[in-house]
């Protein structure tokens, strides 16, 4: 039932109860203007609310009653018992309608014209008509306590009427609720109708349950609404009382205090095993918890209350917009704090409107065209999850239009074109949460005015919630809101900065990171702004000491030097870290508003008293994020956007330490997994260590053979896998993952090293994975070799291979040898580069690839003038003469076995110098210098 209606019913029932009392008083003191005013006001309230709720029948009756009362009040009518009776009848009629309303949610059909006519006549100064009926009715209040049987006998008129109604109903054999009955009733004489209403009311008042049984069955049916309504009426009255919100709030505060005091006591007794307080304290603790839950519960309301108006809104909207919409609501019984309920009502309503207006396709036709049911579905879901309420609003509409958002963001100057180009769709979607952003082409009265999602978001964040959105073009959009169960008590992380403690709401905390110079995560500074490298991302950091201006003067200025705790927080889509000195436990805290003197400090959201009685401030991550300044955050977002685009020139490196203190790097793409393997699991067999790994024996290769690696307890192992073979490279410690340009500076002469690269501003040795792989499996590749001296100028190679592993392996190898490498995963992708006008010095292509394949690729390259002159080196693991022949037929210039990297490099260098020396190479015939042709060269060494 509509909660508004429910409220009205509760209120009206209370008002009617007061009215009964007041009217009786009034009758005794007809000249008491105060009582009269009160009565008038109560009836007026009922009338007003009826009109508001569209309850026409009730309104008409109440209006007529109000008229009479108005005349009394103005002294135009003298108060007579008959007049009071009529007013009472009017109230009874209202009550009987109300009881039906409560039972069915609908105003019962019926005609009150008789009663209204009487009231109007009275108001007009005429004596009340139908003396018999009023006489009976007049007595009625005084006989309330009597059994209904007596009632029936004591009032022959009424009984007669009942019998008449009974026989009429029996004759028709139709239950009175039926429309036919209503029609019949409408035709009944006015007096009879009035009496019926009165009787119904009388039944309703009958205090004993036996009432219906004593009345003839059809009559019982004639007034079933009243009878059933009576039971329910009293049930509602008994089961729920209206308590002022302030009382609840006060209770909540008191309980919060109790919780705090309990915590304090617990803290005192903690550590004292034999304390005599222990048992009573446990009991106190239990009771407090239950009390807390009970009080919290008293404030809880089903979320369905906030949804109750939505079906109507959706219906009206769908009519207005000409869409067919089905609103599915799940989990309406999920309860949350009434304060929160009030706060999310509007955002939810707005979002549902948005989903209908924007989310769903413009017309049913569009939906059918998209292969969907013509009825759009909006699904509202609510459920509890880990101390939070999750509400999701999903539509199965068209999804967000990334292009439109991009254009709009550009038009509104929210981002530059280059920024927008590098953003992922998901990042673009976030623009809809910005102020003044609406992609609706025209402003409807539903949406498109640019006030909306930004307000929704800020409202939700204000109550400590988060909102996320996912959109699947063509399939719909889903918004997920996460809000705390209650605002009053939150879980918070207590941290310390410069010997002061602060609380950070747990909902904003993503993780805690310990950063020090030597750990995986470390703090670096860009122009004095600290940033944290964390799993391949840069996070902006804010030092709480600095932000709060509570830095201790003798504190080390260099953030990177000391080990620090960092609280990673998320606010909306912004992630940032807060540098703190210490992190304590999480505690349940009672949020108290800050004094108005401190309200302007945006870094605080409240304050609280901890279990030890100390007052601490609650930090507001939103305020802190704002203080970071947008520039820095947007920078991060742009960086992130750039990251999502796979760029040719950058690669992720895994930094680790092995065989010495200096950090070494390996392209991350090569590493399948990083494992921690206990030394006890390693077995020594056939002169090497192996470990059972995923049902296979995996050779373990120590990075440094002289290293006494098996003495340690567990080892970090980089696992390289291709097909079903794995090799584990044992290293001392994993340091970090960084992303940087693959810019390998020089070739090292040490086995196992490709060269050094400047990674994150430092020269770091880049490991040749191939070297270690062949140590694990001697036949992993054909042989182990090192590149020839790097050519003096950079030449560009196009490497086409469907194996990501191979591409990742070869790229650093070739880069180390002085080649600039562009990789493609298949011929089709490579040919796109040709269309894009790219030029390469040499093309190196695998022969076995999906799609066009290597042969097809070669034929295509040689058939088009653009790349025809580029030397084409074929690679294959299948080294038979037949394939070599075929590859030449296809147009390949050279053929190298895939496993022989050394040979490949030599061939590439030669091919390029040949191409340079020969102006035209018409024939694909290999030159005599192509050692790669010799079958022996590509056999395993």
Residues that bind other proteins (CB under 8 A): 257, 260-261, 500, 548-550, 592, 595-598, 600-601, 603-604, 607-609, 613-617
853-863 vs 881-890: helix axis angle to the nearest 10?
30
Nearer to other proteins, 597 or 680 (CB): 597
Residues 6+ apart with CB under 8 A from 426: 470
Nearer to other proteins, 567 or 764 (CB): 567
Nearer to other proteins, 611 or 853 (CB): 611
Beta-bridge partners for 494: 503
Shortest distance (Å) from residue 618 CB to other proteins = 11
Q: How far apart are CA 299 and CA 251, in angstroms?
A: 10
- Helix (H) or strand (E) holding 148, with range, is helix 148-154
Q: In what order do the strands lie in the sheet with 582-590?
A: 582-590, 489-497, 500-505, 615-619, 604-609
- Looking at residue 933, what DSSP letter applies? G
> How far is the first Cα of the chain from the last one, in angstroms, to the nearest whole number?
83
Shortest distance (Å) from residue 597 CB to other proteins = 5
Nearer to other proteins, 616 or 737 (CB): 616
Give the tokens for residue 593.
């508003």
Residues 6+ apart with CB under 8 A from 173: none
Shortest distance (Å) from residue 607 CB to other proteins = 6
Shortest distance (Å) from residue 254 CB to other proteins = 9
Nearer to other proteins, 521 or 616 (CB): 616
Q: In what order do the strands lie in the sheet with 476-484?
A: 325-330, 376-385, 388-395, 476-484, 466-472
Nearer to other proteins, 600 or 686 (CB): 600
Shortest distance (Å) from residue 592 CB to other proteins = 6
Q: Tell me which residue of 249, 112, 126, 259 sits closest to 188, measured CA to CA.
A: 112
Shortest distance (Å) from residue 565 CB to other proteins = 18
Nearer to other proteins, 532 or 624 (CB): 624
Nearer to other proteins, 510 or 615 (CB): 615
Sign, CA dihedral 863-864-867-869, equals: positive
Nearer to other proteins, 557 or 597 (CB): 597
Give the tokens for residue 770.
């191939």
Measured between alpha carbons, how far is residue 607 from residues 591, 594, 699, 917 in Å? Answer: 6, 6, 58, 79
Nearer to other proteins, 569 or 616 (CB): 616
Q: CB of 532 within 8 A of CB of 559?
A: no
Shortest distance (Å) from residue 601 CB to other proteins = 5
Nearer to other proteins, 501 or 868 (CB): 501
Residue 39, Cβ neighbours under 10 Å: how many? 24
Nearer to other proteins, 28 or 595 (CB): 595
Q: CB of 697 within 8 A of CB of 687?
A: no
H helix and E strand count, the chain:
33, 35
Torsion angle of alpha carbons 233, 235, 236, 241, nearest 10°?
A: 130
Q: Tell me which residue of 91, 103, 88 sits closest to 224, measured CA to CA.
A: 103
Q: How far apart are CA 50 and CA 59, in angstroms?
A: 5
Q: How far apart are CA 856 and CA 891, in angstroms?
A: 9
Shortest distance (Å) from residue 542 CB to other proteins = 13
Shortest distance (Å) from residue 286 CB to other proteins = 21
Shortest distance (Å) from residue 551 CB to other proteins = 10
Give the tokens for residue 344.
């999310």
Give the tokens for residue 340.
């929160």
Shortest distance (Å) from residue 465 CB to other proteins = 25
C-alpha count within 13 angstroms, C-beta hemisphere, residue 186: 10
Nearer to other proteins, 442 or 596 (CB): 596
Q: How far apart are CA 89 and CA 199, in angstroms?
A: 10
Shortest distance (Å) from residue 552 CB to other proteins = 12
Pairing of strands 688-693, 696-702: antiparallel
Nearer to other proteins, 615 or 878 (CB): 615
Nearer to other proteins, 288 or 305 (CB): 288
Nearer to other proteins, 600 or 749 (CB): 600
Shortest distance (Å) from residue 598 CB to other proteins = 6
Q: How far apart are CA 107 and CA 104, in angstroms?
A: 8
Residue 419, Cβ neighbours under 10 Å: how many? 17
Torsion angle of alpha carbons 797, 803, 808, 813, nearest 10°?
A: -50
Q: CB of 366 within 8 A of CB of 438?
A: no
Beta-bridge partners for 731: 716
Nearer to other proteins, 264 or 803 (CB): 264
Q: CB of 512 within 8 A of CB of 583?
A: yes
Nearer to other proteins, 609 or 874 (CB): 609
Shortest distance (Å) from residue 285 CB to other proteins = 18
Q: In what order do the strands lie in the sheet with 688-693?
A: 673-678, 714-722, 725-731, 696-702, 688-693, 683-685
Shortest distance (Å) from residue 717 CB to other proteins = 47
Q: What DSSP letter does each residue of 85-142 carry, written as one string?
A: HHHHHHHHHHHHHHHHHHHHSSPPP---HHHHHHHHHHHTTPPPS-SHHHHHHHHGGG
């Amino acid at each position: 039932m509509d909660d508004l209606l429910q409220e009205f019913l509760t209120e009206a029932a209370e008002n009617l109860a007061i009215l009964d009392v007041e009217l009786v008083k009034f009758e005794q003191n007809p000249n008491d203007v105060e009582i009269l005013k009160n009565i008038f006001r109560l009836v007026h309230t009922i009338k007003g609310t009826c009109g508001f709720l569209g309850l026409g029948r009730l309104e008409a009756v109440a209006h007529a009653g109000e008229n009479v009362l108005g005349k009394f009040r103005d002294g135009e009518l003298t108060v007579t018992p008959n007049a009071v009776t009529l007013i009472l009848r009017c109230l009874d009629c209202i009550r009987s309608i109300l009881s039906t309303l409560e039972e069915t949610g609908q105003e019962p059909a019926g005609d009150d014209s008789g009663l209204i006519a009487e009231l109007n006549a009275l108001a007009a100064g005429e004596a009340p008509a139908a003396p018999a009926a009023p006489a009976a009715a007049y007595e009625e209040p005084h006989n309330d306590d009597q059994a209904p049987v007596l009632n029936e006998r004591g009032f022959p008129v009424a009984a007669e009427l009942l019998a008449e109604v009974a026989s009429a109903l029996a004759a028709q054999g139709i239950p009175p609720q039926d429309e036919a009955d209503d029609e019949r009733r409408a035709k009944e004489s006015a007096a009879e109708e009035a009496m019926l209403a009165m009787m119904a009311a009388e039944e309703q008042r009958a205090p004993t349950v036996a009432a219906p049984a004593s009345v003839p069955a059809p009559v019982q049916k004639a007034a079933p609404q009243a009878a059933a309504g009576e039971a329910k009426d009293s049930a509602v009255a008994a089961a729920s009382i209206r308590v002022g919100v302030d009382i609840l709030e006060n209770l909540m505060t008191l309980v919060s205090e109790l919780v705090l005091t309990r915590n304090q006591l617990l803290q005192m007794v903690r550590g004292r095993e034999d304390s005599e307080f222990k048992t009573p304290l446990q009991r106190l603790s239990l009771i407090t918890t239950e009390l807390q839950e009970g009080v919290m519960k008293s404030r809880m309301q089903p979320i369905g209350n906030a949804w109750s108006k939505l079906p109507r809104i959706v219906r009206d909207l769908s009519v207005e917009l000409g869409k067919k919409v089905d609103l599915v609501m799940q989990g309406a019984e999920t309860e949350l704090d009434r304060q929160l309920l009030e706060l999310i009502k509007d955002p939810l309503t707005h979002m549902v409107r948005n989903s209908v207006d924007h989310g769903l396709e413009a017309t049913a036709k569009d939906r059918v065209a998209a292969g969907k049911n013509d009825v759009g579905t909006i699904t509202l879901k609510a459920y509890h999850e880990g101390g939070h309420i999750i509400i999701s609003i999903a539509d199965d509409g068209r999804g967000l239009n990334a292009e439109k958002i991009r254009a709009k963001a550009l038009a509104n100057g929210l981002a530059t074109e280059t920024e927008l180009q590098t953003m992922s769709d998901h990042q673009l979607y976030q623009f809809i949460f910005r102020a003044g952003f609406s992609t609706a082409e025209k402003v409807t009265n539903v949406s498109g005015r640019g006030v909306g999602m930004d307000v929704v978001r800020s409202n939700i964040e204000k109550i400590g919630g988060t909102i996320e959105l996912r959109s699947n073009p063509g399939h719909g959009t889903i918004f997920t809101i996460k809000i705390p169960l209650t605002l009053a008590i939150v879980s918070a992380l207590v941290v310390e900065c410069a010997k002061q403690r602060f609380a950070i709401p747990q909902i904003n905390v993503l993780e805690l990171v310990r950063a020090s110079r030597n750990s995986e995560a470390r703090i670096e500074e860009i122009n004095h702004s600290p940033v944290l490298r964390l799993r391949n991302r840069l996070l902006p950091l804010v030092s709480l000491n600095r932000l709060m201006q509570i830095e201790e003067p003798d504190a080390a200025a260099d953030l990177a030097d000391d080990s620090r705790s960092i609280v990673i927080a998320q606010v909306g889509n912004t992630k940032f870290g807060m540098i703190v000195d210490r992190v304590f436990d999480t505690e349940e805290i009672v949020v108290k508003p800050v004094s108005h003197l401190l309200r302007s400090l945006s870094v605080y959201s409240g304050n609280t008293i901890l279990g030890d009685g100390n007052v601490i401030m609650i930090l507001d991550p939103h305020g802190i994020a704002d203080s970071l300044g947008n520039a820095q955050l947007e920078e991060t977002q742009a960086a992130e956007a750039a990251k999502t685009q796979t760029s040719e020139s950058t690669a992720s490196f895994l930094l680790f330490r092995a065989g010495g203190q200096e950090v070494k790097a390996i392209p991350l793409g090569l590493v399948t997994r990083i494992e921690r393997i206990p030394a006890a699991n390693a077995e020594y067999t056939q002169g090497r260590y192996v470990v059972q790994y995923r049902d296979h024996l995996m050779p373990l290769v120590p990075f440094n053979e002289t290293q006494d690696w098996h003495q340690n307890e567990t080892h970090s192992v980089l696992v390289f896998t291709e097909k079903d073979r794995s090799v584990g490279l044992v290293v001392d410690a994993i340091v970090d993952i960084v992303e940087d340009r693959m810019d390998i500076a020089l070739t090292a002469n040490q086995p196992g090293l490709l060269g050094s690269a400047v990674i994150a501003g430092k020269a770091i040795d880049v490991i040749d994975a191939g070297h270690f792989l062949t140590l694990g499996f001697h036949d992993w590749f054909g042989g182990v070799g090192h590149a020839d001296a790097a050519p003096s100028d950079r030449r560009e190679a196009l490497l086409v291979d469907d194996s990501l592993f191979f591409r990742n392996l070869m790229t650093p190898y070739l880069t180390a040898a002085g080649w600039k490498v562009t990789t493609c995963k298949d011929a089709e992708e490579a040919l796109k580069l040709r269309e894009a006008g790219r030029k390469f010095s040499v093309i190196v292509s695998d022969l076995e690839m999906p799609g066009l394949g290597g042969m097809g690729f070669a034929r295509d390259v040689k058939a088009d003038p653009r790349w025809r002159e580029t030397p084409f080196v074929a690679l294959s693991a299948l080294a038979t003469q037949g394939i070599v022949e075929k590859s030449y037929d296809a147009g390949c210039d050279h053929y190298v076995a895939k496993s022989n990297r050394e040979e490949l490099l030599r061939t590439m260098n030669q091919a390029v110098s040949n191409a340079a020396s020969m102006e035209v190479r018409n024939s694909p015939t290999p030159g005599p210098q192509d050692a790669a042709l010799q079958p022996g060269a590509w056999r395993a060494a």
